[in-house]
Amino acid sequence: MTNVVMSKTKAKTLVAIYARVSTKDKQDVTNQLRELRQWVKRMGYAVYQEYVDNESGSKGRGERKQFTKMFQDASQRKFDLVLFWALDRFTREGLQKTIYYLQQLDNCGVKFHSYREEYLNTDNELVKDILISVLASLAKQERRRISERTKAGLETARRKGIQLGAPAKAFLRDDITKLIADGLSKKAIAKKLGVSRVTVYKYC
What is residue 89's predicted lDDT score, i.e. its pLDDT? 85
Are 176 and 75 within one domain? Answer: no
Are 135 and 176 within one domain? Answer: no
Q: How far apart are CA 98 and CA 3, in angstroms?
A: 25
Does 30 reside within a domain?
Answer: yes
Q: How far apart are CA 45 and CA 111, in angstroms?
A: 13
Are 113 and 43 within one domain? Answer: yes
pLDDT by 10s per residue, the chain, length 204:
445 555 444 568 999 999 988 766 556 688 889 999 999 999 999 999 999 988 754 555 567 899 999 999 999 999 999 999 988 888 888 777 888 888 889 889 999 998 988 778 877 666 666 666 666 666 566 556 666 767 776 667 677 766 555 544 555 677 777 777 777 788 888 877 777 777 777 766
Does 156 reside within a domain?
Answer: no
CATH number at residue 38: 3.40.50.1390
Are 112 and 37 within one domain? Answer: yes
Are 35 and 114 within one domain? Answer: yes
Does 161 reside within a domain?
Answer: no
What is residue 2's predicted lDDT score, i.e. its pLDDT? 45
Q: How far apart are CA 38 and CA 68, in angstroms?
A: 25
Are 94 and 23 within one domain? Answer: yes
Are 45 and 132 within one domain? Answer: yes
> Among the three residues 86, 119, 139, which one is the final residue of a domain in this structure?
139
What is residue 177's predicted lDDT score, i.e. its pLDDT? 75
Does 147 reside within a domain?
Answer: no
Are 125 and 42 within one domain? Answer: yes
What is residue 37's predicted lDDT score, i.e. its pLDDT? 96
Does 62 reside within a domain?
Answer: yes
What is residue 96's predicted lDDT score, i.e. its pLDDT? 74
Q: How far apart are CA 196 and CA 198, in angstroms?
A: 5
Does 9 reside within a domain?
Answer: no
User: Per the structure, how many domains does the chain have?
Assistant: 2
What is residue 12's predicted lDDT score, i.e. its pLDDT? 86
Are 36 and 101 within one domain? Answer: yes
Q: How far apart are CA 36 and CA 17, in angstroms?
A: 7
Distance of CA 144 to the CA centre of its chain: 17
Are 28 and 90 within one domain? Answer: yes
Q: Where are the alpha helices (H) located in the chain, listed in sequence order?
A: 30-42, 65-75, 87-90, 95-107, 125-159, 169-181, 186-193, 197-203
What is residue 9's predicted lDDT score, i.e. its pLDDT? 45
Could you list the residue range(s) of the whole structural domain that residue 62 is in? 14-139
Q: How far apart are CA 43 and CA 37, in angstroms?
A: 10
